[in-house]
Each structure stands twice: as C-alpha cells, then as structure tokens.
Amino acid sequence: MRSVSVIGIGETKMGILPDRNVKDLIQEAGAKAIQDAGIEKERIQALYMGNFNSSYWCIQSHMGPLASETLGLGNIPTLRTEGACASGSLAFRQGLMAITSGLYDVVLVGGVEKMTHQATEIVTTGLASAADFETEVNLGATFPSLFAMMANRYFFEYGNIREDMAMVAVQNHENAMLNPNAQMQKRITVEKVYNGFPVADPLTVFDCSLITDGAAFVVLAATEVAEKISKKRIVEVIGTGHAGDVLALAAKKSITTLDATVAAAKEAYQMAGVMPKDIHLAEVHDCFTITQIINTEDLGFFEKGMGGRAVKEGKTARNGLIPINTSGGLKAKGHPIGATGLSQIYEIVTQIRGEAGERQIGRADIGLSHNLGGTAATCVINIFKGR
C-alpha cells in the first residue's frame, strides 16, 4: 500500500470564541496547516472536511465547498464527513485512502465546529442527535447519563474507581496548562472534581468534556512526495483502523468494553506492525473521565479493570509509561466535535516532531490517536511514526 505522511498541521485556539464564525476558524487553521507544510495551496488536489452539526447550530451545510472557498482552493473536489465526535477522524481516513489509492498526491483534511454561541439546551439537543432518538433521547437520556451508566457498570464489574476518574481530570487539566491552544488552562484537585456540580451520578461537571469552538487541519502527502518537499520531520501514517457498533447503549454486548475500539485497534495495530507496548504516547477520546479509562484498556495499554490504577500510579502522566492526552484531552483542551479527531492528530504530530515545548515528552517516535463517535458506535484509530 502506498505510504502517506503528514506534512502540515494547524489549529485554532480552542474555547468560547464569540467573535469568530465558522469561516474565521477554517481560515486560521487551514492557512496554518498549508503554511506549516511549506507548499503552495495550488498543490492541494482535494479537501476532506469533518463537521458534525453546523447544519443545526449554524444553519450552514455544504461545509466542503465553504471551506474550499474560504481557503481559496479553487475547483478541487470536496467532501464533508459526519460521524458524530469522530467526524474529523473520518475525514482524515478519507484523505488517507485517497492518497494510498494513487488518486491524489497531496490533500487537505480539516475539521470545524462552532457551538458555544447557542443556548445550552440547543447545544445539548444537537449533541443528542448522535444517540438513538427513539430508544434513548426520546426517553430523556443524555450522553452524560449514558456514560454515567457505563461508569456504574464498571464499578460493579471491577470495583469503585471514582478517585481514579477524578485523577484523569486532574492530570488532563495539568497537561492543558502547558498547551497554549487549550480551552481550560486551570488546575483542579480531586476534591474539586468530587464537589463539582452533579451532572449524572457519579459524574460531576469536572468529569465532562467541554463545549468548544475550534478548527484543526492537516496536510497529507504521499511519502515519496513528502520526502522531496518537507523541511520538517516526516510523520508517516503507519496504521489506521475504523470500526462500528450498534447505536444504542442498551443494545451493546458490553458497556465496559467498547467493541468498536477493540476492532479498530486490531486493524490499526496489524497494519502498523506494532503492539500496544510499542506506542510512545496516545491521544484518546476522554469525553468523560470514565471513557479514558475504558479506552486505555480496550487499546491494550492496560489490563481490563486496571486502567484506573494506571492513572493513579502515574503511568499515563507526561513522564509515565505511556503518556495519555498530553494536549489536555477533550476534558481540558476542548471538544470542538468536528475538529476533535484532527486536533488529536495535531498533538501527536507536534510531539513526534519535538515541537511541544514545555509539554514535550521524552521519547515520541510512535503515537496513536483514538476518536469515538456517540457511545462508541463509531471508532477511528490512527498510528503515526516519525521518520
């Protein structure tokens, strides 16, 4: 299969950005990625755009042409992908496959979401559309309540890890303090997590990811092309995996092992020719603190039931066995739905290049991004290696 590498990355500040519209976010992040790649925009042959719900929150659909027009890319083909919170990673995978097929040599992949300008009720309604309306949303279920059920079932099967969940939030906030693009640059304590506004038992507001505006873009190129034009460390995509599962939580075989992650990880590891122990860092989908713990187990980093203890023992810290969410994660960096998967990739590439500044980890040659959609009805995993 034709090798593909990341040659350019760009993202906006993540957060509540009342003075920025969708076009502003696209323009900033897209232009940064193209500039970082060191190419003329005329070299870009196609654009893949991840976006979840601008049709509802911004009354704006047809995001591919909108992004192309905003960036001045001319008459290139564009495509929008939607897979709830995995929308950006799906766009990345489409761009990746377009190059591996030989159809294109250089493509731009982007993701964007603008949501903080809407009332909480409208944002929540939009987010809920990624769940099963008939059997979940129509009966009053929300994503916090669904993931709270996961947490409580996990407690039943493996023991109460409430303190470990709080430590996930503490650790990710600590990482975000060193990320200038992070939304929540604020230290918290375990006690603050416990005493936060209750959302859905056992989750408090500090166990939940953020409502975020933001955009992230990457430039992909065939590796033989990247070797000729890139002036930075080339970051090769060595593995990718995409799997799905049923939409409704109640229909899953297990809610403490997410089958979509297990299947996508198997595909990505096999393609990359690596094992979990070979991964130096990972950005995993921490929409809620319990989710990060389950994900690290499903990815094979820790045994089932031991993910919480790994956090408490510092194994997931920046100087730990496998640093997790050095960006601050969805929990503290922010969760701009359509851009989240690409922002994860932005962090992995930044670390592999050795450009992460104060949050730079010691060894960063092989990194993994893990992105879920809904209650793990969609999962996309990508593995990267510095050359």
**CATH number, position 278:** 3.40.47.10
Helix (H/G/I), strand (E/B), else coil: 305: coil
Helix and strand counts by DSSP (H, E) for the chain:
14, 11
Q: 132 lies in a domain?
A: no
335 as an active site residue: the answer is yes
Length of the chain: 387
- List, for residues 21-66, the tens digit of each pLDDT value: 999 999 999 999 999 999 999 999 999 999 999 999 999 999 999 9
Q: Are residues 68 and 215 in the same domain?
A: yes
Q: How far apart are CA 192 and CA 362, in angstroms?
A: 30
Helix (H/G/I), strand (E/B), else coil: 177: coil
Q: Are residues 228 and 313 in the same domain?
A: no
Q: How far apart are CA 342 and CA 218, in angstroms?
A: 7
357, exposed or middle or buried, with CB in 10 Å at 0-12, 13-18, 19+? exposed
Percentage of the chain beyond pLDDT 90 is 99
- Residue tagged active-site, from 242, 280, 335, 370: 335
Q: Are residues 346 and 275 in the same domain?
A: yes
Tokens in use for 272?
A: 């990359």
Element (H or E) spanning 71, and its range?
helix 63-71
Helix (H/G/I), strand (E/B), else coil: 31: helix
pLDDT at 1: 82
**8 A C-beta contact, residue 323 and residue 281:** yes
The rounded mean pLDDT for the chain is 97
Domain count for the chain:
2
Q: 293 lies in a domain?
A: yes
Q: 126 lies in a domain?
A: no
Find all residues with CB under 8 Å of 147, minimum gap 6, and list them. 200, 203, 287, 288, 290, 291, 375
For residue 275, the enclosing domain spans 141-207+239-386
Measured over the CA atoms of residue 197, residue 14, residue 176 and residue 330, the dihedral's sign is positive
Q: Are residues 24 and 103 in the same domain?
A: yes
pLDDT at 94: 98
Q: Are residues 215 and 243 in the same domain?
A: no
Q: Are residues 73 and 160 in the same domain?
A: no
Q: How many CA atoms lie within 13 A of 198 on its CB side?
A: 3
**8 A C-beta contact, residue 282 and residue 269:** no
**8 A C-beta contact, residue 384 and residue 298:** no
Q: 131 lies in a domain?
A: no
Q: Are residues 345 and 264 in the same domain?
A: yes
Q: Are residues 271 and 310 in the same domain?
A: yes
Q: Which ranges of the chain have pLDDT less than 70?
A: none
Q: Are residues 246 and 353 in the same domain?
A: yes
Q: 124 lies in a domain?
A: no
Q: How far apart are CA 367 and CA 299, in angstroms?
A: 13
383, β-bridge pairs: 239, 368
- List, for residues 148-159, the tens digit of each pLDDT value: 999 999 999 999
Q: How far apart are CA 355 and CA 360, in angstroms?
A: 7
Q: 136 lies in a domain?
A: no
Measured over the CA atoms of residue 361, residue 267, residue 381 and residue 131, the dihedral's sign is negative
379 as an active site residue: the answer is no
